[in-house]
Chain A
């Protein structure tokens, strides 16, 4: 059975989700920050982490965005194959939701219409829209406003099969060390391994939206996530890059099949303001 969904529903929900995501972090992010604060050894690091908790409280209570960089709006739509959109164009509806969310929600407009001409579009559109077709008749929306202090530190490495797992570990550590204080640590590190150039980057981005308290379903990947988190925290970069034991809150890794000649690795760095709102229609 085909299910009709009015695209106005996309607009209304995405508008609210832009505002929600920029003012409240998900429970897993809040919990991880709390645990990190308890365990941090550096006094200055602890002070930074305390400020972050206080910041979250003020943001939610007074409706001031958690961070002034309210990001570029990355929207994932997982569309059931039995869904039939009615009432307009999906892409326009998504952008209209972003426009309303950023204008009505007092969010910063940080998007320029052309990478070289650099004229601000004044409503934070266009969004970055990713769509996937999945079984069923539902639509899962994830809105993930991405800040660029950390986005700028993200990397892609086209490794060769001979580089193997050690090459992968090296790539992740290289990106994190290079990011250092610029990416507002404690970070969340999203990693894609395998696929093609663009698939790999997409997996890294999507990995950031996964609940950080949930490990990968693949045993070797879950082990790698754990090992890399420990290695990253052993760099000593710490909260704000001012030294400490909390450099990352989580490493989330996604993998996919790849070519006999390749081993792509993408590392999407996110700050502690790892924002995502999720809803299902």
Chain B
């Protein structure tokens, strides 16, 4: 079976065609942001300021890496729990954010915003930070440098493995997947 490679930033068409349960490999450019960066972005919006990164078509990876050793672009780089970003995600989705990569369940508000905007929520394997760091070829801090690991990084990724856990129609793999293996 050939690898299902998906280009990021994510086109409207690609986002629509992805279905829950698809195992995909993301290639292109994404941005990292977690709790503190989301809080700052939300404060910027409240003050009527521009966001430091473009949302339209982009994908945010909920991730705060460990420091890179010499000669490496990044340290360990696996997903953090997405639920802590649920308060901020609908606003960003309404601004055009097309994908999120993280782990764990989302609220109905996020799901509604995903459907409303034709976006996708991916899960990366939690606790596989060393493996995932191999898929990140370049990393550059582009905003909120003072936040250290929580700064926004621009990431060049090659074949970053992820599973579609919520598709643009709002189907949720976390709700359906367990049924089959329940005893």
Contacts and interface: CB of A to CB of B under 8 A. Distances in A.
A223 B59 CA distance: 47
B69 A242 contact: no
A115 to B, nearest CB: 13
Interface string B136-155: 00000000000011000000
Contacts of A67: 76, 78, 126-129
B23 A47 contact: yes
A236 B126 contact: no
A34 to B, nearest CB: 16
B5 interface: no
B103 A65 contact: no
A66 B174 contact: no
Contact of B75 (A56, A108, A149, A244): A108
The interface size bin for chain B is 35 or more
B68 A106 contact: yes
Interface in B163-182: 163, 165, 173-174, 176-182
Interface of A: prevailing SS: loop
Contacts of B149: 68, 108-110
A245 B177 CA distance: 11
Contacts of A41: 181
Contacts of B72: 64
B95 interface: no
B84 to A, nearest CB: 9
B103 A108 contact: no
Contacts, number: 162
Contact of A234 (B77, B163, B182): B182
Contact of B76 (A64, A122, A240, A241): A64
Contacts of B131: 51, 54-55, 58
A107 B76 CA distance: 9
Given A48-B125, A106-B66, A106-B75, 7 more contacts: A45-B181, A66-B130, A68-B66, A181-B104, A236-B179, A241-B103, A241-B177
Interface of B: 21, 23, 36, 63-69, 72, 75-78, 80-81, 83, 103-105, 123, 125-131, 133-134, 148-149, 161, 163, 165, 173-174, 176-183
28 contacts: A42-B181, A44-B163, A51-B131, A58-B131, A58-B134, A59-B130, A64-B72, A64-B129, A64-B130, A65-B66, A65-B75, A65-B130, A66-B76, A70-B76, A107-B66, A108-B65, A149-B80, A149-B126, A180-B174, A181-B105, A182-B105, A236-B183, A238-B177, A241-B177, A241-B178, A243-B176, A245-B181, A271-B126
